[in-house]
Amino acid sequence: MTTQLTDLETDQHLRRYDDIRDLLPGPDNPTPLVRLNRITNADWYLKIEWMNPFGSLKDRTAAYLLAGMVERGELDGRDLVEATSGNTGIALAALAGLLGTHLTVTIPDGVPEEKKVLLRMLGAEVWPTPDDLCPVDHPKDGAIALARSLAASEGGSRYAMANQYESEDNVKAHYETTGPEIWNQTEGRVRTFVAGFGTCGTITGIGRFLKEQDPSIRVIGIEPQKGHRLPGLKSFEEAKQPSILDWSVIDDVIHVDDEAAYAFTKRLYREESLMVGPSTGAVVAALDQLRDTGLAVGISADSGFKYTSYFADVLGDEGLPQI
C-alpha cells in the first residue's frame, strides 16, 4: 500500500523542507552571522557554519564536489574515496548516501574518535591513517597519499577521488555561497576576514569574492604550529600546500598555537555561550593579534560536539569537585 503524500513544498520562511538537501546554505539561506559581545569591544562576528545540516562548513564543499563529480560522470560505476580530517567526510557520506554512492574515507590517525564513529554511522568505510604512513618519497599527508593510491590502484576502476585539496569545485563552493553571504550579511561593510589554512578552498573562494567587491578588505590566513591538535587546519611546515591555495587573495598569515586556540575556545564557551570547535578558538586568537580590524568576520567551521575527547584533555580535572 502506498501512502498519499501531502503536497507541502519546501518553504524557507516556515523552515519546512522537502529534503535535507534543501537546508544546504547559500545566499538565499545563509548560515548565521553572530557578533561577539563579551570577549572583545571590537566589531567581530563569527559565521556559524555548524548550523549547516551535516554540522560544518564542509557541507558546502561536499555539495559542490559531489555535484561536479556527478556532472562529469566520475561516479558512474565507481565508489567515492576522499582524504579528510572528518568534516568533509561526514558531509560527503551523508550526501553520497542519498545518491546511493558508497564512501571510503582515509583519515589521519589523530582525528577524534567522535568523527570516525559518525562516519561509520553514516555507512562510510574508515581507514585511520598515520601521517607518516609512507616511509619514503611521500609528504607527511599519509591520508592524502593513501586516498590517491586507492583511486589510482586497479586501473582507477574502483574509486573516484573527490580531491578537495585540488578541486576548483571546493573554491567555487565558497566563491558562490559563503563569500556572497558574508558580503550581504555585513551590508558590504566587512573590513577583515579570517580563516584557517586547511584545504584552502574556504580562504581562496571567500577571499577572491571579497577582494572582487573591495580590494582593500584584509584577508588573513591562520597557520597552526607543527604537530598541532587543531583538526581541519594545516601547518605548511609539515603538510604540502594545496594546489587550490591562491596567495594573491591573502594579505597576511597569523600563527596560532594550540594553547592560544584552546584558551579562546574555552572563553567562547564561557563568555559568549558559543559551543564551537577548536579551530574557531584559533580564529578568535588570530583576531586578538590584529589591530584596527574594523568589522571583522571569522569562520566558525564546526561545533564542539565532535571534540569532547580533546576538550577532556584540555580541562584535566577542571570543573570536577576538588575534594
Partner 1 sequence: MIDEKLDTSGLLCPLPVYKASTVLSRMEPGQVLELVCTDPGSLADIPALARQRGDILRNVEEQPGRQVFLIEKGPVQ
What's the closest the beta carbon of residue 149 comes to partner 1, in angstroms? Answer: 4
- Give the integer Cα–Cα distance in Å for 206 and 41: 25
What's the closest the beta carbon of residue 154 comes to partner 1, in angstroms? Answer: 5
The yes or no reply on residue 315 touching partner 1 (CB under 8 A) is no
In the complex with partner 1, the residue whose CB is nearer, 119 or 282, is: 119
143-162 residues near partner 1, rule: CB under 8 A: 145-146, 149-150, 152-155
The yes or no reply on residue 24 touching partner 1 (CB under 8 A) is no
Residues 227, 231, 235, 241, CA torsion sign: positive
Residue 234: strand, helix, or coil: coil
What's the closest the beta carbon of residue 224 comes to partner 1, in angstroms? Answer: 24
93-132 residues near partner 1, rule: CB under 8 A: 127, 129
- Per the CB < 8 A criterion, the answer to whether 223 and 255 are in contact is yes
| Total count of residues recorded for the chain | 323
The yes or no reply on residue 133 touching partner 1 (CB under 8 A) is yes
Q: Classify residue 182 as left (phi > 0), alpha (psi -120 to 50) or beta.
A: alpha
The yes or no reply on residue 40 touching partner 1 (CB under 8 A) is no
Using alpha carbons, select from 271, 268, 270 the residue that is nearest to residue 303.
Answer: 268
The yes or no reply on residue 137 touching partner 1 (CB under 8 A) is yes
Residues acting as catalytic residues: 58, 279
* β-strand partners of 195: 221
What's the closest the beta carbon of residue 109 comes to partner 1, in angstroms? Answer: 11
Query: Contacting partner 1 (CB under 8 A), which of 138, 240, 255, 266?
Result: 138
- Per-residue CA distances from 167 to 64, 163, 180, 189, 245 (Å): 10, 6, 20, 30, 11
What the block records as the C-alpha cell of 25 is 546554505
In the complex with partner 1, the residue whose CB is nearer, 153 or 309, is: 153
What would the x/- binding string for partner 1 be over residues 240 to 279, using CB under 8 A?
----------------------------------------
Beta strands in 65-129 (DSSP E): 79-83, 103-108, 125-129
Q: Name the residues that contact partner 1, by CB under 8 A.
A: 127, 129, 133-138, 142, 145-146, 149-150, 152-155
